[in-house]
Structure 1
Amino acid sequence: MDREIPAEVKKQKMLKRLLRLAVTGTAATAALLILSRVLGNDLHENELFIRKVDRGPIEISVSASGKLMPLQEEIIVTPINTRILEVYKNPGDSVDEGDPLLKLELASVETEYRQKLDEREMMKSKLEQARVRLNGTISELEMQRRVKSMQAKQLYTDLQDERYLDSIGAGTPDKIRRAELNYEETKLELQLLEQKIENEHKNARAELRVQELELGILDKTLEEKARLLKDARILSPRKATLTFINRQIGSQVPQGTQVAVVSDLTRLKVDCEIGDQHREKLSVGAKAVIKTGDTELRGTVVTVTPSVTNGIVYFTVVPDEADHPGLRSGLSVDIHVLYGLRQNVLRIPNGTFFKYGPGLYDLWIVREGRAEKREVSLGESSYEYVEITDGLNEGDRVILSDMERYKDKQTLKIRKN
């Protein structure tokens, strides 16, 4: 026999059924509203990025990518084939000028340097000996010349005496001829001696010059060895931050290997790259805008590489405030290089819609609760604005949001809220 269900239980079941129906209805209504907003023609104005067309200047620019790097950075390389014995610093350490960074094995270079010093002393001694020897030879010849000169003078006096005696009848022609012969012979010997002295001077100068040149070459070699020894004692060249150091103690490092890098992280530059189709828009001295997050700084192009590598041109921008606190080494930034200026042009703010440079674009114009798609001709651009060359008037309200999903639509309804 069936039992009768109490009225209170029936009432509770009815309330639960009504509650389920209400929840299901609310969810269905919400889903329909969402679906209508996604697939339908209605948009809410407060969800759109809308701006007015106005007039003003445009600083024409081309965009590039860049990375902040130290403005002053010095790469330290080993000047010789050696190995690392000790490391005194770690990456990130602050260093002062002259601080030792690491120690290299220098025994072979030091030995060679000392050998060259000994060789130089020997060469200096040989040069001094040559000077003494050559000066002695020339001094001896000079003494012989003086003696021969005195003999010639005496023979000339004897000749004059014989001629006098002959004039008074006390001499003979034979004595005069003998005196003349002796005098002429001595005079020739004197001339030969003087020529020999001159030749000895020339030979001495040449011999000493050769030895002096050899000594000079050795001095340059010693200077180079001394420089190698100095450079091989790896010291910080300036007050900076150590950004890299080879810490592999005992490892072999060939000549020219990078062993440390010191950087001034208080002043930065931007190493930039751009497609080679924009090469003609770059020039040294051009102004640029550097953007990273909310930070926007002006700068100047200081270098442009003359060559193209894999379709890329590299250039460098130095910020006017190279020590700005918003800049961090290694940070990627956007670069806008300015290369022209247009005054009093129709413009709209730049955005993601401007993808392909100057040309025709489909833009949405908002008017009286509706958005209408219109073909608009856009011209040059800056990082802030795009020039309008045809299709829009001053005061027109343009949707700058991404409208790709509505590319098949021609009009849309715009709701205020």
Structure 2
Amino acid sequence: MDTIITEEVNAGKRKKRLLVSIICLVVLAAGIWLIRAYFKPALTKAEFTTAIAEKGNIENTINATGEILPEFEEALTSPINASIRNVAMDAGNKITAGQSILTLDKSAAQTDFDKLKFLIESKENEIEKLKLDLEKSFYDIKSNNNIKQLRISNLTDAVSNTKKLYKAGGGTKENIEQAELNLKVAELEKQQLENEIKSKQRTMKIEIREAEIALAIQKNDQAALKRKLDLANVIATRSGVITWVNKNIGASIKEGEVLAKIADLGSFKVAGSMSDNLLGQLHNHMPAIIRFNETQLRGQVINISPAVNNGIVSFEVQLEQRNNKQLRPNMKVDLFLVTAVRNGVTRVVNGPAFKGSDLQDIFVVSQGKAQRRTVKTGLSNFDYIEIISGLKPGEVIITSDMTAYKNASEISIVN
């Protein structure tokens, strides 16, 4: 026969089960605490790097890439269409003004020069012929004019004689009218001839002037070609170092094509480039820091290119120490542009411990332990990061990457 379980018995069993559960949880928590206390994370001093917080100045920088270039570089171009005959100097050689770098084959240009010379002689002969024709034509017209004048004088006398004869009763009015008509015709012919003389003179002078202008143009072309021929032996116009030269002997060269480059290695600049996403922060006279081989130089941004190519904006940096002996053409350097400066702030050496956000969890070293602490950061550069709050000057922090200990609040430091 089944026995009915009372409510009091059930309640007692529930209390017992609850008590057992609580005791198990307490034991488990105590075990975890004991294990964590026993297996507390520890580091040796050789496993991390530290830095001491200090008061100082800090510059906020953005990164760019840079290349060292000569501040003054001259490109020597071909004055004519030619081919390279001989190369006298190679890249890297020092050169002085007047030294030959390379020689061009100028036979084709010389042929053009000789042809132009013959054209000039032909044009000079043409002008001389025009002048002779003008003189002859003027002489012929003038002679005809003199003949016309003599005829007019003769006809004038004829008119006078006809009138006298008519008064004496020996002539007619028709004779007088005919004589006067002949005189008038002769005067008109003379006037026509005089106009022809003037027109012929103007025409001949214009033709001569046009020929003289054409001759002057040809002579200018000849002089320009002569200068180009003189430059065909490519020589240095200044002292310096050859940074590049076309050594392809026999290669065809077009007029204006670069043959060699000469640089003054006593003065350098930096050709910089950066993403156009940072273009809003870039401006002229912006301070810049250049680093290479443990050397640091300073300068300022100049000549920002208005064009953006493939998401890259270009600019130049003028160095304060342009003649640094360690600078070399085409040398790659680290370039940092200063966007802001703060003085007298708390700063620490930048390192992998800082991930870039304003609030950072770091470990402060004190009395053989590293304790987690949250700090607020400000400006940063490749050397330092500003600590706005959470750290005092003189305190020591770990600058190594502590991602593996992100859940630890305290780490023991052992020797």
TM-score for the superposition, normalised by structure 1: 0.73
Determine if the alignment matches structure 1 residue 401 to structure 2 residue 407.
no
- Whichever of the two has the greater Rg, that structure is 2
2:100 corresponds in structure 1 to: 100
- Gap change, CA 1:364 and 1:164, over 3 Å in 2: farther
CA distance in 1, matches of 2:140, 2:85: 61
Report 1:13-92 matches (<5 A): 40-42=41-43, 44=45, 48-52=49-53, 54=55, 56=57, 58-80=58-80, 82-92=82-92
Other structure's SS at 2:74 match: strand
CA distance in 1, matches of 2:50, 2:219: 76
- Gap change, CA 1:372 and 1:415, over 3 Å in 2: closer
Superposed displacement of residue 64, structure 1? 1.2
> Are 1:45 and 1:415, in contact at CA under 8 Å, matched by a contact in 2?
no
2:13 corresponds in structure 1 to: none
Determine if the alignment matches structure 1 residue 373 to structure 2 residue 372.
yes
Structure 1's unaligned 5+ residue stretches are 1-38
> Are 2:83 and 2:104, in contact at CA under 8 Å, matched by a contact in 1?
yes
- Gap change, CA 1:415 and 1:357, over 3 Å in 2: closer
AA in 2 matched with 1:215: L
Report 1:231-380 matches (<5 A): 231-249=231-249, 251-255=250-254, 258-339=258-339, 341-343=340-342, 346-349=345-348, 351-353=350-352, 359-366=358-365, 370-380=369-379
1:348-397 deviations in Å (ceiling 9; x for gaps): 25634498766444333445654333444444445554445x54355373
> Are 1:363 and 1:398, in contact at CA under 8 Å, matched by a contact in 2?
no
Superposed displacement of residue 404, structure 1? 3.8
CA distance in 2, matches of 1:125, 1:114: 17
- Gap change, CA 1:80 and 1:349, over 3 Å in 2: farther
Superposed displacement of residue 239, structure 1? 0.8
Superposed displacement of residue 181, structure 1? 2.7
AA in 2 matched with 1:331: M
AA in 2 matched with 1:69: L
1:48-68 deviations in Å (ceiling 9; x for gaps): 331325365x54432212121
CA distance in 2, matches of 1:161, 1:399: 140
Determine if the alignment matches structure 1 residue 194 to structure 2 residue 194.
yes
> Are 2:348 and 2:386, in contact at CA under 8 Å, matched by a contact in 1?
no
> Are 1:74 and 1:263, in contact at CA under 8 Å, matched by a contact in 2?
yes
1:229 corresponds in structure 2 to: 229
Other structure's SS at 1:277 match: helix
> Are 2:42 and 2:413, in contact at CA under 8 Å, matched by a contact in 1?
no
> Are 1:370 and 1:411, in contact at CA under 8 Å, matched by a contact in 2?
no
- Gap change, CA 1:65 and 1:173, over 3 Å in 2: same
Other structure's SS at 1:362 match: strand
Higher deviation after alignment, 85-94 or 120-129: 85-94
AA in 2 matched with 1:110: Q
Other structure's SS at 2:309 match: coil
- Gap change, CA 1:185 and 1:270, over 3 Å in 2: same
AA in 1 matched with 2:75: I
CA distance in 2, matches of 1:166, 1:53: 139
- Gap change, CA 1:182 and 1:279, over 3 Å in 2: same
> Are 1:45 and 1:416, in contact at CA under 8 Å, matched by a contact in 2?
no
- Gap change, CA 1:360 and 1:230, over 3 Å in 2: farther
2:390 corresponds in structure 1 to: 392
Superposed displacement of residue 178, structure 1? 4.3
> Are 1:289 and 1:335, in contact at CA under 8 Å, matched by a contact in 2?
yes
Superposed displacement of residue 99, structure 1? 0.8
- Gap change, CA 1:281 and 1:169, over 3 Å in 2: farther
Superposed displacement of residue 109, structure 1? 2.1
AA in 1 matched with 2:52: R
Superposed displacement of residue 175, structure 1? 6.0
2:32 corresponds in structure 1 to: none
- Gap change, CA 1:394 and 1:158, over 3 Å in 2: farther
Other structure's SS at 1:266 match: coil
AA in 2 matched with 1:253: S
Superposed displacement of residue 333, structure 1? 1.6
Higher deviation after alignment, 59-68 or 362-371: 362-371
Superposed displacement of residue 274, structure 1? 1.1
CA distance in 1, matches of 2:357, 2:121: 77
AA in 1 matched with 2:267: R
1:222-257 deviations in Å (ceiling 9; x for gaps): 2443343233212122111123334454x3233265
Structure 2's unaligned 5+ residue stretches are 1-39
Higher deviation after alignment, 360-369 or 165-174: 165-174
- Gap change, CA 1:400 and 1:42, over 3 Å in 2: closer
RMSD value over aligned CA atoms? 4.0
Higher deviation after alignment, 141-150 or 273-282: 141-150
1:31-84 deviations in Å (ceiling 9; x for gaps): xxxxxxxx943454996331325365x544322121212122233344555443
TM-score for the superposition, normalised by structure 2: 0.73
Other structure's SS at 1:211 match: helix
CA distance in 2, matches of 1:358, 1:320: 34
1:326-367 deviations in Å (ceiling 9; x for gaps): 32223222222234x455574525634498766444333445
Q: Quick one: percent identity of the two aligned structures? A: 25
CA distance in 2, matches of 1:184, 1:358: 114
> Are 2:374 and 2:390, in contact at CA under 8 Å, matched by a contact in 1?
no
Higher deviation after alignment, 370-379 or 309-318: 370-379
Higher deviation after alignment, 209-218 or 234-243: 209-218
Superposed displacement of residue 300, structure 1? 2.8
- Gap change, CA 1:344 and 1:266, over 3 Å in 2: closer
- Gap change, CA 1:264 and 1:178, over 3 Å in 2: same
Aligned residues: 375
Superposed displacement of residue 316, structure 1? 1.6
